[in-house]
């Protein structure tokens, strides 16, 4: 089975895959890309049954099982300024870096998240085909599960992508002057 290529994971996906015990299986079957902010600041641990468990991605990075990218401060400002506060106030840094990388790259990346704003931005930017839920990732690589929360489902991705498309039509996410 060929690997899923050019797949960006948001922090919540990395954490959930660790919770499910599927992280190594997934990165063996996917060409995974992570924001440096996600790796260094947002993915630290997952909640185990008895205690929190440390997440250390350094071995995956060193052995090239993960590709890491980062963006400049100027990239962040330009991206956030292209949206009104209805959208930009909801971005965390890892999501922002991941979305910038997806939008600015000449390659056709896809992003998996469990955050509404990620899919709304994709819908808003007419890039709905670049979103993929964790449910869809797992199905594509033969690890499908029926016990995932709503935020990891195809339905969640579709709902918020559609909301982003509607926001684009009515101009809800447009840049508004800041004081």
pTM for this predicted structure: 0.90
Distance of CA 21 to the CA centre of its chain: 19
Closest CA to 165 of 132, 114, 126: 126
Strands 52-54 and 45-47: antiparallel
pLDDT 10s digits, 73-89: 999 999 999 998 889 88
Alpha helix locations (H) across 11-92?
A: 11-20, 23-29, 36-37, 58-62, 73-81, 85-88
Q: What is the reported pLDDT for 54?
A: 80
The CA-to-CA distance between both ends of the chain, in Å, stands at: 53
The answer to the question of residue 175 being in a domain is: no
The answer to the question of residue 94 being in a domain is: yes
The answer to the question of residue 154 being in a domain is: yes
Q: Which domain holds residue 73?
A: 4-170
Number of folded domains that form the chain: 1
Q: Are residues 32 and 134 in contact, defined by beta-carbon separation less than 8 angstroms?
A: no
pLDDT 10s digits, 144-179: 988 999 999 999 999 999 999 999 888 766 654 333
Closest CA to 120 of 94, 87, 150, 98: 87
Find the CATH number of the domain harbouring 93: 3.40.50
The answer to the question of residue 107 being in a domain is: yes
Beta bridge partners of 166: none
The answer to the question of residue 86 being in a domain is: yes
pLDDT 10s digits, 2-51: 578 999 999 999 999 999 999 999 999 999 999 999 999 888 765 656 66
Mean pLDDT of 100-111: 96
Residue with tokens 């590709």: 67
């Amino acid at each position: 089975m060929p690997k899923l290529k050019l797949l960006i994971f948001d922090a919540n996906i990395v954490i959930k895959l660790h919770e499910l015990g599927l992280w190594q299986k997934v990165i063996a079957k996917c060409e995974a890309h992570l924001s440096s902010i996600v790796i260094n600041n947002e993915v630290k641990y997952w909640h185990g049954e008895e205690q929190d468990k440390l997440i250390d991605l350094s071995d995956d990075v060193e052995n090239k099982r993960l590709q890491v990218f980062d963006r400049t401060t100027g990239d962040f400002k330009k991206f956030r300024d292209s949206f009104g506060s209805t959208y930009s106030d909801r971005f965390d840094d890892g999501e922002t870096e991941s979305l910038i990388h997806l939008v600015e790259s000449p390659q056709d990346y896809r992003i998996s998240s469990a955050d509404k704003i990620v899919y709304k931005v994709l819908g808003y930017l007419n890039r709905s085909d670049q979103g993929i839920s964790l449910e869809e990732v797992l199905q594509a690589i033969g690890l499908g599960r029926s016990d995932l929360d709503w935020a990891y489902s195809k339905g969640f991705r579709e709902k918020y992508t559609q909301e982003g498309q509607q926001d684009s039509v009515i101009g809800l996410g447009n840049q508004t002057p800041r004081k």
